[in-house]
Amino acid sequence: MRGRDPGEPHRTATSLELLFGLCFVIAVAEASRGLSAAVAGGHAASGALRFALVFFTVWWAWMNLTWFASAYDPDDVPYRLTVLAQITGSLVLAAGVARAFEDGDLRVITLGYAVLRTTLAALWLRAARSDPARRRTALRFAAGVTLCQLGWTALLFVPAQVRLPAILVMIAGELTVPVWAQSAGMTPWHPRHIAERYESFVLIVLGESVAAAAAAVRDAAGRHRDSGALYLLAVGGLLMVFAMWWLYFARPAHTILATTHRAARRRFVWAYGHFPVFASAAAEGAGLAAYAVLTQRHGDAVPLAARAAVTVPVAVFLITVWAVHVRPHRRRGTERFAFPAVAVAVPAAAFAPAPALVAGLLCAALVVVVTRADRASCTGGPVGVHAQEGRRAGGA
């Protein structure tokens, strides 16, 4: 298992990587469903906290194997079996999400996480044996992953009143491991491959948002066929999801990663900064679903917290996409201010009679601004950007 060439041409995700990502849909769906139920039940604040903690475990498990595979994936039988074991761990983790939301029971989710982390440590030990040049880095990863997993297991025996601070300490420890390990030497990850994997996860969480919102609107519309609020919710939700897709894919991520390949701090900012991008996209579906349920119960008198659950995730998505994915391209013009301005304006839509529609229209206006700015700079919009990058790559 020697390191792969970070400049390998035509590097794309394998079918096993795509299967690995798709299996995380279940865990994302369970987390989104738990947040939706919490918002609909009047526990938005506690639900958001539990969602953030649960989603971190999902995202972190996915991200760690993604970066490892980019650097080392040999696609041989032992590696395939190990990744299949990781998929099993992700399914066990997903099975424990509901318990974690309902009563704080972390036993099943910890079991799934243990399978994921143990197999990852085994992969790093294999890399340490096969890649002498990066043995120190691989051993640091294996040691850090193992120690953190022991810490997560120990949390099961911690008193409930101190569990949250202990979880925050563990999260800080997890985030520190890659920084500490790669200070001994960088792994040979592939910029285009990493960009593709992150883009696929964006599609996963956006797809989950569409599915969750559509199911909720369908169920509610079956009982309130004349509810115009539900139709406005559906239109606004689609506008937001479409705009979120458009704005994220308007800039090619691999060009950012290629320029940060030797800049560790900027690389980690991009990689870690995607947590709120992914989490907010998944939370948007939960907010739309909760709003549909509460519209069924209360008509137009939906509580402010549920209205905010529709608008705030979009604002978080916009500001983090701008910070980690758009701003590094150093484009000039109105789009430099348009993203922050819309991100500030969107939460105020919670006070509108149709918050999803107003937020969707604001996001659509931002798409227009970005597209016009692209045309003005002769990039040709989202399609043109990728086409232009493809021509450059083909002529290189």
Domain that holds residue 87: 15-182
Q: Residue 379 — pLDDT band, cuts 50, 70, 90?
A: very low
- What's the rounded mean pLDDT across residues 65-90? 94
Q: Are residues 282 and 316 in the same domain?
A: yes
Boundary of a domain, candidates 153, 182, 211: 182
Q: Are residues 338 and 265 in the same domain?
A: yes
- What's the rounded mean pLDDT across residues 195-210? 90
Tens of pLDDT, residue by residue over 22-33, are 888 888 988 998
Q: What is the DSSP letter of 353?
A: S
Give the model's pLDDT for residue 385: 44
Give the model's pLDDT for residue 381: 43
Structure tokens at 159: 């008193």
Give the model's pLDDT for residue 390: 43
Residue 250 forms part of a structural domain: yes
Residue 302 forms part of a structural domain: yes
pTM: 0.88
Are the beta carbons of 205 and 24 closer than 8 angstroms?
no
Residue 83 forms part of a structural domain: yes
10 Å CB burial of residue 391 (0-12, 13-18, 19+) is exposed
Q: How many domains does the chain have?
A: 2
Q: Are residues 31 and 56 in the same domain?
A: yes
Are the beta carbons of 257 and 324 closer than 8 angstroms?
no
Give dist(CA 32, CA 36) in Å, integer. Answer: 6
Boundary of a domain, candidates 138, 160, 182: 182
Most distant CA pair in the chain, distance = 68
Model confidence at 311: pLDDT above 70: yes
Residue 7 forms part of a structural domain: no
Q: Are residues 327 and 283 in the same domain?
A: yes
**To the nearest whole number, what is the mean pLDDT of the chain?**
86
Boundary of a domain, candidates 136, 154, 182: 182
Q: Are residues 73 and 199 in the same domain?
A: no
Q: Are residues 139 and 232 in the same domain?
A: no
Report residue 273 CA to chain centroid gap: 9
- What's the rounded mean pLDDT across residues 277-292? 92
Model confidence at 268: pLDDT above 70: yes
Model confidence at 232: pLDDT above 80: yes
Structure tokens at 390: 């493809």
Q: Are residues 216 and 117 in the same domain?
A: no
Q: Residue 7 — pLDDT band, cuts 50, 70, 90?
A: confident
